[in-house]
A and B are shown apart, each in its own frame.
Chain A
C-alpha cells in the first residue's frame, strides 16, 4: 500500500477543566506529505511538541482526529510506523550505544534476539557515523554523539515516519551545524517522512521542504511555507540570498508583536 502521509483535522488539546483549563492547540489542521521533511517552527509554548506527540499517537487530542496512511493513529503506532527522537537522548546509562538501539527494537517487535535486530542496529549506527562507538556507554559519549545514537535508535525501528522533538536544542552551534548536515544526509538516504520540531529559524530552513509556522495562545498554524532550495544542501546554503529571504521572512513572522 502506498504511504499517504499524515492528515489531522480539527485538532484541539486542552489541559485541565473548568476555569483553570488551558487550551494548548485550537482548531488545527495539518497535512504531512510522504517522504517530505517537515518542520514545526515556533516560539516556546506554542504547542509544537504537543502537536508532534499527537501526530505520533503518544498523546491524545481532546478533539479532532489524526490519520496515518488512512488509518487511525493508534493503529499506526501498533504497526510501528513511528520512530521518536526525543529532546534529550534518554539513553539507558547501563547499556552500550548498540544495546540501547537493540533494546527499543526488541521491545517494539516483541522479539528477544535475532539477526535482524543486530543487523538493523549496526546499520542504523553506521548511518549516523558511529560504528566505532558501538560498545561505548552513554557517559562516554559527547552530547552530539548521544543524540546521534538516539537518531540511530529510531532509525533501527525502520519506521515510515521519524518524529524529532527539538533533538539538537541542547547542542552548541558548531555541533548543531554538523548534526543538521548528517540529518540531511540520513533523510536523503532513507527518504523517511520526518516531522521536526525546532525553534531555530535557520535550522528549519536548512532542513525542510515545508515549514509550518506556529503561533501562541492558543497554539495554531499561522503560515505554511514551502522551501524551494536545491538539494543536496551544504552549509554554503546559509549564504544563499534565497535562504536569507526565507529566514528574514520567518523572523518577521515570529517577531513578538508590539502591544498596542
Chain B
C-alpha cells in the first residue's frame, strides 16, 4: 500500500485538486445545478438514489457481460477461420473492413426495431461494435508466426490444423489481449448507446431519463457509475489475463500492460 501511494500520489493529488476546483468553481461562478452538478451534489444523489442506480447498473452490467463474452467468441472464431482458410479471408475480409465504415451507433434504432426493447438488441449492438478489434488483433497475431517455425513444421509434415492450434493460437494470445482491452471499452459504449436508442432500464436509460427531467445530479451520478463499471470490467479482464499469463508466460514478455 505504501509503495502504491509513492507511485500514484501525483495522479491522486491531481484528481483531488480537480474535484475540489470543480466544487468551488460551481459555487463561485454561481452556476445553476441544471447546468452542472457539484461533486458533493451527485455524490449525495448517488446515496439517496442508491436503489435505483444499483438496479440500473445491474441491468447494464448484464448487457456488457453477455455482449462482451459473445464478442470474444465471435471475434476469435472469425479470426481463426480467416487465418485458417485463405479463400475465406479473400472473400470476407474486405466486407468486414467495409462494415467498419458504417457508424454502428446508427444501427441501434434498427436493432430496436428488429429485436424489441429487451436485452437482445443491446447484446447485438455490443457484439457488432466490439468484435472487430478482437478479430483484427487476433488475426495479426495468428499471422505473426515465425517463418522459421513454419519451415520446421513443414519439415515434419505438420498439418495446417496442427500449426494453427499448437503454434498460431498461443502466439496470438498477447495480440488477443490487446484487442480485448479495446473491445471492453467499446462494449460499455455499445451498452449505453443501445439504451439511449430504446430501453426501459439501465444506466444509459437513466441518463436520458434524468436529462428529460432536468435532474442533472442524477445524470452525473449515473455517468460516474457507468465509468466505474467500465473500470471494473477493464480490471476484471486484466485479472483474467494475469491468470493466463501464469500458464503462458510469453504474454507478459510481449504485452505492454
The verdict on B25 contacting chain A, using a C-beta distance below 8 Å, is no
Please tell me if the beta carbons of B250 and A93 are within 8 angstroms of each other in the complex.
Answer: yes
Known: A94-B170, A107-B162. A157 touches B156 (CB 8 A): yes
Segment of B31-39, B143-151, B186-194, B201-209 engaged in the interface with chain A: B143-151
The verdict on A56 contacting chain B, using a C-beta distance below 8 Å, is yes
Segment of A29-37, A78-86, A250-258 engaged in the interface with chain B: A78-86
**For A186, what are the chain B residues with a Cβ–Cβ distance below 8 Å?**
none
**For B148, what are the chain A residues with a Cβ–Cβ distance below 8 Å?**
86-88, 90
Closest to B162 in A: A107
Closest Cβ–Cβ distance, residue A140 to chain B (whole Å):
10
**For A137, what are the chain B residues with a Cβ–Cβ distance below 8 Å?**
249
Which of under 10, 10 to 19, 20 to 34, or 35 or more describes the interface residues of B?
10 to 19
Closest Cβ–Cβ distance, residue B175 to chain A (whole Å):
14
Tell me, in angstroms, the Cα distance from A86 to B155 when the chains sit together.
Answer: 10
Known: A93-B250, A107-B162, A137-B249. A86 touches B151 (CB 8 A): yes
The verdict on A108 contacting chain B, using a C-beta distance below 8 Å, is yes
**For A82, what are the chain B residues with a Cβ–Cβ distance below 8 Å?**
155-156
Q: Which of B151, B155, B167 has the most A CB atoms < 10 Å from its CB? A: B155
Closest Cβ–Cβ distance, residue B141 to chain A (whole Å):
13
Please tell me if the beta carbons of A107 and B158 are within 8 angstroms of each other in the complex.
Answer: yes
Tell me, in angstroms, the Cα distance from A83 to B151 when the chains sit together.
Answer: 11
Please tell me if the beta carbons of A163 and B155 are within 8 angstroms of each other in the complex.
Answer: yes
**Binary interface encoding of chain A residues 45-74 relative to chain B, with 1 for a CB under 8 A from any of its CBs, else 0:** 000000001001110000000000000000
Known: A78-B157, A90-B146. A84 touches B253 (CB 8 A): no
**For A86, what are the chain B residues with a Cβ–Cβ distance below 8 Å?**
148-149, 151-152
Q: Hey, which bits of chain A sit against chain B, CB under 8 A?
A: 53, 56-58, 77-78, 80, 82-84, 86-88, 90, 92-94, 103-104, 107-108, 137, 139, 157, 163
- List 16 A-B residue pairs with CB atoms under 8 Å apart, sorted by A's residue number: A56-B155, A57-B155, A58-B154, A80-B157, A87-B148, A88-B146, A88-B148, A90-B152, A92-B149, A93-B249, A93-B253, A94-B249, A104-B156, A107-B153, A108-B157, A137-B249
